Structure 1
Amino acid sequence: MAATKTKKPTENTTKKAQSAPKAGKTVDPAIRKRNIRLAIGFICLLLGSFFTLSIISYCFTWQEDQNNLISSQGVFNFLFHDKSPVENWCGRLGAAAAHLLVFKGVGIASLLFTVWLGAWGVNLINGSKIIQTGKWIRWMALGFLFLCPFLSFTFASGSFPLGGALGNGLVNWSNGFIGKAGSIFMLVTVFCFFAFIVFQWDIKPLLHRAKSLIPAKRVDVEDVPFSTDEKKNNEEAEEKFKGYKNYQPEPEAKEDKQEMTIAGNSNNKLKEPEFEINGLQAEEDYEPEDLEMTMIEKPMEESNKTLEINKGGIHLELPQEALFLTDELEEDISLKEEMPETEENEEGLDFEIKTVEEPAKVPANGAHITVQSGEPYDPSLDLPNYKFPTLDLLDEMEQSAISFDREELEKNKNQIISTLRSFGIEIQRITATVGPTVTLYEIVPAEGVRISKIRNLEDDIALNLAALGIRIIAPIPGKGTIGIEVPNTNKQIVSMRSLLASDKFVNNKMSLPIALGKKIDNDNYIVDLATMPHLLMAGATGQGKSVGINAILVSLLYKKHPSQLKFVMVDPKKVELSIYRLIEKHYLAMLPNEEEPIITDTKKVVNTVNALCIEMDNRYELLKDGGARNIKEYNDKFIKRRLNPNNGHKYLPFIVLVIDEFADLIMTAGKEVEMPIARLAQLARAVGIHIIIATQRPSVNVITGIIKANFPARMAFKVSAKVDSRTILDAGGADQLIGRGDMLVSHGSELLRIQCAFVDTPEVERIVEFIGNQQGYSSAFELPEYEGAEDDRVEKESVDLSKRDKMFEECARMVVNSQSGSTSMLQRKFNLGYNRAGRIMDQLEAAGIVGGASGSKPRDVLITTEYELERHLEELF
């Protein structure tokens, strides 16, 4: 009752409140304010348009109207007493207004004021700032203080008053006070003030454009700006370079996992196992000779084709896309998306889920993370105009759906069942997965059947199927099935273009993504080389080993910028990797003073791998000084400018060492090559140095235990003997491959069968020419100098101080000031190579500035002050 009584007065008061405005005769203040605003807006728009039109007309009729104004002796007489005709489009008032604004005012820059007045009126009429008139004040100031005197100074002999009275007065004063040269300097100063102080224009793009006209150089220690001002910043640096952006990724069609179920009459005494292609199955018994199979085509609009089973036969339809086992997942996701944040439970209580943000974490030692001021460093600005290769450079192959022969599948299925049954082995279900080159038959044995019995029937099944390359996987890891891989009669070529255009490759966030090929289920196999971290390849001649190397290199060229990746290529055969010579100034790394970027001589290979060891040690020193555990953390700190380039820090690109025909190097160099490569394989992963080794003879004396222990990722093409397969993979199977790109990849705990992507030599040539024709660095990426046996003999000879290094005096002053002398310090402070820094240190020793070497300790400095050093150098030289 109480609620009812309080409701009626509320309704009455509401009615009175609604009827009050109707009875009142006073105007609402808001409406009055709006009307005033509209009136002022229309007036401003009218005046701005009128004055703008009058100034435009004044540019053509100013001489006649100005003569009438001068003869009328004043603007007032001209407006109201003069009867002479006027040429201005806006009449006598327009001629007078234009004369005051242009001739007596600021010249042609008065258009800035009239247009601004009209724009202000538009904003008042609209009631919001649709035109940013506030910024126009700066433009008017630029026009009045710079444009007027500039026009008057430039067109001083002209008759039309472009600069107006303001411009003429400023120019006459400056010419008399500081001269014409001083007037020019004053105009430049005023322009720079407005450009950089008022408008805050960015000159950086102009500098980059000018820099692009000069051959680019690699960023050295002094090239990176460094500031000592530090401030807290915990944001992650955005990845400036994400790969190539010249095309949109094509949708990755998954046409794998095609399903077929075969059933028949129930008259047969033995119940035949269910046969399917990835999941869809029939529950009827059948006899193989009574089956009838037909293909039905449906329009391509259907996104998911189904399988129909009738009594008279089987209707087999290929799915357009593989969308298996995802319906329940999508339904679950949709339910979670539709669930509101606030729900009402059975008792009528509101249930609300709130998320609490975690407080900012502070380092355990209490130190604050400091970030250098300035924008994040972008290594790709060394080559700002570099363009990634486009997909047009690769051949476009016809990619059709994975096709299989119905009769072939049925025949192979029956042969497998009959062979196993002849040995007393019954199976419950058999499933077929059709890939580009191989079909995988997965069988589920009946209870009580031992797996070893099926594994021992490999040769019998191969005999009955009359196929080459039968491989039995018993059991398949992660599944309760046994796999039998049977080569297809009609094999398909895996296009490299389709892999690079796939969304899985374009949008990945891997450090070094490589697209190898497709698995049996037709899924693209893309893996990160940085996680492998080294790759060992083996295979007989002509089985696709060189094509596999090209696929890896092309994948990296399509994804990484030249500033982020360098290759060291070793090719004893001199013909396989020579095609990459054109990208020497973009992607290749080599020893100083070398002529050929592709290393073919065995002695140079020894020096190169030892130089990589020196580079590895130098990088570990940088990581230690920078407080980073790996190259990713170090580069992130350098990009955020948290590392001082003056201390020797610099951006570190990835280095990939590619060695083709490793067996030849082992035969000619032996331990001289094996030991530094083993050392790189053990330690170089954290500093971004990765190794790819290929050989056609995977014997134990070539791939030794030291090499195998540090190469967890293996890739095996077809080999000639089972012992070679066990050498490379520690398992059999590589001897049963069918060749032509068919390979086994061991990565982690998986052993996958992959059909390698095909990259032809003309395609690689087009890609390399596309990159080589662009602007590159001035030279290839230089590796540290390596001191061989000859260099040791030279060092033992006497040092000739008359041929001292150009950096001798600077190094001497630095050593004396720091009272510490070491070769590594000279390398770090002056960015010198190891060999050159060692020679300078020997010259300092011969000059009596530092003492002799004492192991790993720094040398003693024999001179204490810089003044004493200057006197010593004058007496010495």
Structure 2
Amino acid sequence: MSKNKLKTEKPESKKPKGVTPNPDVLKKDREPEVKVKELVKDERTHKVLGVVFLLLSVYCFIAFTSYLFTWEDDQDKVFRYSTKELLIGDVKVDNLLGRLGAFVSHNFFFNGVGIAAYLFCYFFFIIGINFIVGRRVFRIWRNVKYILFGLVFISMTMAFLAYNADFPWGGALGNALNKWTSGFIGKTGTALLLLVAGFSWLIWKFNFNFKWPEKKIKPPKPISAVAPVVAAQTAAGTPVAAKDITPAARKNGLKEDNGVVVIPPAMYNEEEEEDMPPMHLVERDEISVIPSHAAYMPPAVAPVNMAGSAEEEDELSEEEEEEDPGPLLYIEERPEEKPVNKKKTGVEEVAFEIKPTFKDEEEEIEEIAAIRPVGPVDPYDPSLDLRDYKFPTLDLLENHSADKVIVQDTTELEKNKNQIIDTLKNYDISIQKISATVGPTVTLYEIVPAAGVRISRIKNLEDDIALSLSALGIRIIAPIPGKGTIGIEVPNVKKSIVSLKALLASEKFQNSTMDLPIALGKKIDNENFIADLAKMPHLLMAGATGQGKSVGINALLVSLLYKKHPSQLKFVLVDPKKVELSLYKLIEKHFLAKLPGEDDAIITDTKKVIHTLNALCIEMDLRYDLLKEAGTRNIREYNVKFTQRRLNPLKGHRYLPFIVLVVDEFADLIMTAGKEVEMPIARLAQLARAVGIHLIIATQRPSVNIITGTIKANFPARVAFKVSSKIDSRTILDIGGAEQLIGQGDMLVSFNGELVRLQCAFVDTPEVENVAEFIGNQKGYPDAFLLPEYVDDKDVDGKELTLADRDPLFEEAAQVIVTAQQGSTSLLQRRMKLGYNRAGRLMDQLEAASIVGPNMGSKARDVLVKTESELQEILNNLL
């Protein structure tokens, strides 16, 4: 809806009854309220301060420079008269900036730091530049450290070098420091102290390299990574000596008639031949021949060397040494195999193994700032609009799992193992091996059944095993995909919290090159689960009330905020509950998108949700038109072309950020709007992935009438928290199991054809507020990202087509049509970013004004006005 229409719909202010305003009496003008906070943050205030500091810098520079030449004539006047006389009296001085310049210069030089006073000019200059430009051109605190060091070092050095000079080179500060240090460590010690301090600063600043140049060592001839086999034994049992190996055999690396295996001498270094151990003669039965294409040498390989005679080596020419040495052979020493007792009759005889959990190096979280991803430098960088934007730091989040580390309770594991074995044994089911993997909330016991045991028998014992373990609820995976085992997931007695901070600090997330990386949680083996939303490409979340859906949505949004720049990502947040996503209102001018004319970027009204979804469909169509004109297939190829300046912005091309639509409660929208919401959602799910629009939809009611087949077909990635029934689990995952979860963030993720159990990352409300405030306090765009305008058919139908109430964009649309000489509704949609309904309405009004001809079906309308002068006459007549 347009801004003008919104203004007309505002209710008029109520006036008190019985009071008529007197037209002869003028109303008092309301004095504008001046807010100090807004005045301090105003850009104009910063620019004025910048000009003041630059003027102060120039003033001090002129005064100090003039003081170098006029100090002798002005010094007695400054000493003779007080400050009051210098300010009020008519004393004449020689300084270019008058009495004030002489007084200021005297205090900075004579009573201050001497010639080092010029550093104050530099300080005022960098502050002024930063204020005027509006960004950090110079780093203030780093320069302050250098200035403070320079004031002390330069003043003391100048006082030491010009100790008896009349001019105050070091000032009062330098003379005082020099006098104290000379009396404490002497003049020689003072000189050494100044030298050490000066060289230390230079080393710290420029980091000189004091390494002595090393002599270049000639690299040795390359030695093959494999050891040639040259020892063998004849059939009679007589070993063959090295001297009996012919040069031809040495060259070709083949077997002789007597069974000797030889290899050319080019495979080892001739210079080191004398240092190598003598040849070992190995029995033929102990040699295992491995082909030369092996990837690496096994650890049990024993190198064997052969020392050939010098005469035979001289016979080989250089060309023969450069030829292919032929197949390479290895000797593998095989250890003796010990007999294994395969009898397993009781509980104690079943092999039991506790698998180590996945450990990230980032479990000990360091307080580091999020690193801005560095990529190849492109001619156009969209992030330059907010070049001072800082990514959120990890110290804004809390490490909830610091005191609750995953501990392997061996007593509990041994007890559960015995219970599982006994339960299966009661039903005459024997197993070969059982292993345990401890996770944050559940432990996975993997069993290998004995030969001939049906998997369905173990699957049917799910309730019996749960009864024997006294567990809240177990889940049997029979079999585990990709493994020859059967999994039994048992909840832990002591559960651990998975902190979002630990996931974001991990190397897998920090070094991720994904388009939209999201941190969902940790697997049972404690491995971080980081996925790319752009490849999902849409995510469907479901679960009962209070099982962690809202926390999961916050974890996804915070993950994206930590990784993406505001120019690369925009959110469309739909919150029918009105309280779940209100925390993100602070980042409206950075990451949020909304309809034109709307005040609130968090959408709560159902009617506005319908308009927003249809506006996203219009944005999708416009992006597809841009991709078609650019000759690209997806948003990544298009943005690469645009950043390489191969697309003309004058033709409507622009950088396309990713758009993520988040719906917190989808069931409420379906109940109130029905098809009006379902149709644009289904359309976006079918087509929007290629143009960078992705959907995250959550609902607490995963029934068939809410999650229809059309929606499910386009949401391959699904997340299921604990649900109330197996039917709900089948609705969301197409398989049971979600009803057996233990809640509080325990979830199943169906992605890439796999079903993975995760413990969702936990992020608390204060942490989300800290991140939102950190981003919101920074400089953002003038307004939120504006979606194309959408006008509902109900607002347009039923109104008479008259030019008196023509659209505010009528003149602009007429100019677009006349300039292009093409009466096309899609042209108005693309050029003016309008919806189909409003563009069609404008086209009808242009027809009524005789600017375009009547509708001709699929063909474009005829443009009746050929020049802009004719168009201007028509527009003037309509006024």
Instruction: Confirm or deny a common fold (TM above 0.5).
Output: yes
Q: Helix, strand or coil for the counterpart of 1:276? A: strand
Taking only aligned residues, the RMSD between alpha carbons, in angstroms, comes to 3.5
Q: What TM-score does the superposition give when structure 2 sets the normalisation length?
A: 0.58
The amino acid across from 1:693 in the alignment is I
Match 2:349 to one of 272, 282, 298: 272
After TM superposition, give the deviation of residue 665 of structure 1 in Å. Answer: 1.1
Identity of aligned residues (%): 68
1:776 counterpart residue number: 780
How does 1:83-232 map onto structure 2 within 5 Å? 210=133
Q: Deviations over 1:805-860 (max 9, x none)?
A: 4771x654553343212343345445667676556544433322212333443221
2: CA distance, partners of 1:320 / 1:746: 24
2: CA distance, partners of 1:758 / 1:489: 19
Q: Do 1:784 and 1:834's aligned partners in 2 also have CA atoms closer than 8 Å?
A: no
Judging changes above 3 Å, is the alpha-carbon distance between structure 1 residues 498 and 617 closer, same or farther for their aligned structure 2 residues?
same
1: CA distance, partners of 2:638 / 2:795: 33
2:624 counterpart residue number: 620
2:817 counterpart residue number: 815
1: CA distance, partners of 2:612 / 2:413: 53
Q: Deviations over 1:466-512 (max 9, x none)?
A: 10120000000000000000111110000111111111001100011
2: CA distance, partners of 1:677 / 1:498: 34
Q: Helix, strand or coil for the counterpart of 1:489? A: coil
1:530 counterpart residue number: 534
Judging changes above 3 Å, is the alpha-carbon distance between structure 1 residues 640 and 390 closer, same or farther for their aligned structure 2 residues?
same
Q: Do 1:471 and 1:733's aligned partners in 2 also have CA atoms closer than 8 Å?
A: yes
Judging changes above 3 Å, is the alpha-carbon distance between structure 1 residues 613 and 869 closer, same or farther for their aligned structure 2 residues?
closer
1: CA distance, partners of 2:574 / 2:494: 37
1: CA distance, partners of 2:659 / 2:738: 30
After TM superposition, give the deviation of residue 702 of structure 1 in Å. Answer: 0.9
Matched, 1:393 2:402: no
The amino acid across from 2:354 in the alignment is I
Q: Do 2:360 and 2:527's aligned partners in 1 also have CA atoms closer than 8 Å?
A: no
1:540 counterpart residue number: 544
1: CA distance, partners of 2:667 / 2:135: 44
The amino acid across from 2:660 in the alignment is V
Judging changes above 3 Å, is the alpha-carbon distance between structure 1 residues 638 and 206 closer, same or farther for their aligned structure 2 residues?
farther
Q: Deviations over 1:643-678 (max 9, x none)?
A: 100000001111111111111111111111111101
2: CA distance, partners of 1:439 / 1:423: 23
The amino acid across from 1:542 in the alignment is G
1:380 counterpart residue number: 383
After TM superposition, give the deviation of residue 264 of structure 1 in Å. Answer: 13
Query: Which structure ranks higher in relative contact order (CA pairs < 8 Å, sequence separation ≥ 6)?
Result: 1
Match 1:860 to one of 856, 859, 862: 862
The amino acid across from 2:818 in the alignment is V
2: CA distance, partners of 1:676 / 1:270: 59
Matched, 1:503 2:507: yes
Judging changes above 3 Å, is the alpha-carbon distance between structure 1 residues 795 and 387 closer, same or farther for their aligned structure 2 residues?
farther
1:845 counterpart residue number: 847
Matched, 1:424 2:428: yes
Judging changes above 3 Å, is the alpha-carbon distance between structure 1 residues 789 and 444 closer, same or farther for their aligned structure 2 residues?
same
Match 1:684 to one of 688, 691, 706: 688
After TM superposition, give the deviation of residue 621 of structure 1 in Å. Answer: 0.5
Judging changes above 3 Å, is the alpha-carbon distance between structure 1 residues 875 and 552 closer, same or farther for their aligned structure 2 residues?
closer
Q: Deviations over 1:249-290 (max 9, x none)?
A: xxxxxxxxxxxxxx99999778721000128xxxxxxxxxxx
Matched, 1:435 2:439: yes
1:458 counterpart residue number: 462
2: CA distance, partners of 1:464 / 1:485: 14
1: CA distance, partners of 2:752 / 2:359: 32
Matched, 1:410 2:414: yes
Q: Do 1:713 and 1:747's aligned partners in 2 also have CA atoms closer than 8 Å?
A: yes
Q: What TM-score does the superposition give when structure 1 sets the normalisation length?
A: 0.58
Q: Do 2:595 and 2:788's aligned partners in 1 also have CA atoms closer than 8 Å?
A: yes
The amino acid across from 2:631 in the alignment is G
The amino acid across from 2:477 in the alignment is I
Q: Do 1:799 and 1:842's aligned partners in 2 also have CA atoms closer than 8 Å?
A: no
Q: Do 2:853 and 2:863's aligned partners in 1 also have CA atoms closer than 8 Å?
A: yes
2: CA distance, partners of 1:537 / 1:595: 29
1:136 counterpart residue number: none
After TM superposition, give the deviation of residue 722 of structure 1 in Å. Answer: 0.9
Q: Do 2:441 and 2:491's aligned partners in 1 also have CA atoms closer than 8 Å?
A: yes
After TM superposition, give the deviation of residue 799 of structure 1 in Å. Answer: 2.1
Task: Give structure 2 stretches of 5+ with no counterpart.
Answer: 1-64, 74-94, 99-127, 137-339, 363-376
Q: Helix, strand or coil for the counterpart of 1:277? A: strand
How does 1:74-89 map onto structure 2 within 5 Å? none
Q: Deviations over 1:421-472 (max 9, x none)?
A: 1111111111110111111000111111111111111111111111012000
1:737 counterpart residue number: 741
1: CA distance, partners of 2:733 / 2:679: 22
Judging changes above 3 Å, is the alpha-carbon distance between structure 1 residues 677 and 830 closer, same or farther for their aligned structure 2 residues?
closer
The amino acid across from 1:377 in the alignment is Y
Matched, 1:767 2:771: yes
After TM superposition, give the deviation of residue 785 of structure 1 in Å. Answer: 1.4
Task: Give structure 1 stretches of 5+ with no counterpart.
Answer: 1-55, 65-153, 158-204, 214-262, 280-317, 324-373
1: CA distance, partners of 2:344 / 2:539: 56
Judging changes above 3 Å, is the alpha-carbon distance between structure 1 residues 591 and 732 closer, same or farther for their aligned structure 2 residues?
same
Q: Deviations over 1:350-379 (max 9, x none)?
A: xxxxxxxxxxxxxxxxxxxxxxxx962111
Q: Do 2:791 and 2:835's aligned partners in 1 also have CA atoms closer than 8 Å?
A: no
2: CA distance, partners of 1:684 / 1:499: 29
Judging changes above 3 Å, is the alpha-carbon distance between structure 1 residues 515 and 832 closer, same or farther for their aligned structure 2 residues?
same
Judging changes above 3 Å, is the alpha-carbon distance between structure 1 residues 528 and 716 closer, same or farther for their aligned structure 2 residues?
same
Q: Do 1:515 and 1:526's aligned partners in 2 also have CA atoms closer than 8 Å?
A: yes
Judging changes above 3 Å, is the alpha-carbon distance between structure 1 residues 698 and 671 closer, same or farther for their aligned structure 2 residues?
same
Q: Do 1:535 and 1:714's aligned partners in 2 also have CA atoms closer than 8 Å?
A: yes
Match 1:586 to one of 587, 590, 611: 590
The amino acid across from 1:272 in the alignment is E
1: CA distance, partners of 2:360 / 2:871: 79
Q: Helix, strand or coil for the counterpart of 2:519? A: strand
Aligned residues: 550
The amino acid across from 1:389 in the alignment is P
1:701 counterpart residue number: 705
After TM superposition, give the deviation of residue 395 of structure 1 in Å. Answer: 1.2
Q: Do 2:518 and 2:560's aligned partners in 1 also have CA atoms closer than 8 Å?
A: yes
Judging changes above 3 Å, is the alpha-carbon distance between structure 1 residues 212 and 62 closer, same or farther for their aligned structure 2 residues?
closer
1: CA distance, partners of 2:550 / 2:871: 60
2: CA distance, partners of 1:534 / 1:277: 37
Matched, 1:746 2:823: no
Judging changes above 3 Å, is the alpha-carbon distance between structure 1 residues 525 and 62 closer, same or farther for their aligned structure 2 residues?
closer
2:475 counterpart residue number: 471
Q: Do 1:785 and 1:835's aligned partners in 2 also have CA atoms closer than 8 Å?
A: no
The amino acid across from 2:386 in the alignment is L
